[in-house]
A and B are shown apart, each in its own frame.
Chain A
Amino acid sequence: MENDLKVWRAKADVTQEELAKELDVARQTINAIERGRYDPSLELAFKLARYFDCSIEEIFTYEPDDES
């Protein structure tokens, strides 16, 4: 799973801390998602999409070959 969360966050000009607070998760969780170490739950993915007013697919892309 890859994502452009960092890009979306930069466009919205919010820090990891602010985004984490808004979505009720830890800053480390946002950081882990951006670094590709953590795949969020469907609920959190929806929350992110709603926050940035876009679709989930615009933030996350899934290529089966990426699975390790």
Chain B
Amino acid sequence: MVKLQRDGPIVVAVIGMALATVGADLASSPELALGLVIGGSALTWGTLLVMGLFVDDRVWGRLMSDERMNRITHRAGAAAWLCTLATLVTLARAVDYSPVGVPTQNALLAAAAVAIVAFLGSMGYHSRQM
């Protein structure tokens, strides 16, 4: 279960991603949509940057809360990264040759979705196995 204080950084990063994607799609004007994309992206990147700079600190919340979670997080990160690479390689050509035509931005969002699903799935799997 998500606890806001413990999982704060991840929650903020996800909110940023939601603002930059879904929020922008639902915005009432192009200016507002652009603002949401830039603002949401900045929120996400800023949070990830802080998490990266303080990789050993509690700013990672539950993901780095102790050595076991640290190990699980690194494994999940590696799995998500490799799955994302594989997806990007597939989509890089599939987008060109698909008869129905896949917009590049949809392909990128699909890669992002694969990354999130792979990360969460791997976290869940390793949490039970380790």
Flag whether B66 is at the interface (Cβ < 8 A). Answer: yes
- Tally of chain A residues near chain B (CB < 8 A): 12
- Chain B interface residue number, banded: under 10
A29 to B68 Cα, complex, angstroms: 6
Flag whether B65 is at the interface (Cβ < 8 A). Answer: yes
Instruction: Tell me which residues across on chain B come within 8 A of A29, comparing CB atoms.
Output: 66-69
Flag whether A26 is at the interface (Cβ < 8 A). Answer: yes
Flag whether B130 is at the interface (Cβ < 8 A). Answer: yes
Flag whether B28 is at the interface (Cβ < 8 A). Answer: no
Cβ contact within 8 Å between B130 and A44: no
Most chain A beta carbons < 10 A, residue from B67, B127, B129, B130: B67
Total inter-chain residue pairs, C-beta < 8 Å:
25
CB distance from A50 to the nearest CB of B (A): 16
Instruction: Tell me which residues across on chain A come within 8 A of B66, comparing CB atoms.
Output: 24-26, 29
- Chain A interface helix/strand/loop/mixed: loop
CB distance from A63 to the nearest CB of B (A): 20
CB distance from A38 to the nearest CB of B (A): 5
Instruction: Tell me which residues across on chain B come within 8 A of A40, comparing CB atoms.
Output: 67-68
A→B interface (CB under 8 Å): 24-26, 28-29, 32, 37-38, 40-41, 43-44
Question: Can you list 25 A-B contacts (CB < 8 A)?
Answer: A24-B66, A25-B66, A25-B67, A25-B68, A26-B65, A26-B66, A26-B68, A26-B69, A28-B68, A28-B127, A29-B66, A29-B67, A29-B68, A29-B69, A32-B68, A32-B130, A37-B129, A37-B130, A38-B68, A38-B130, A40-B67, A40-B68, A41-B67, A43-B67, A44-B67
Question: Which 3 interchain pairs have the tightest Cβ spacing?
Answer: A25-B66, A29-B68, A26-B66
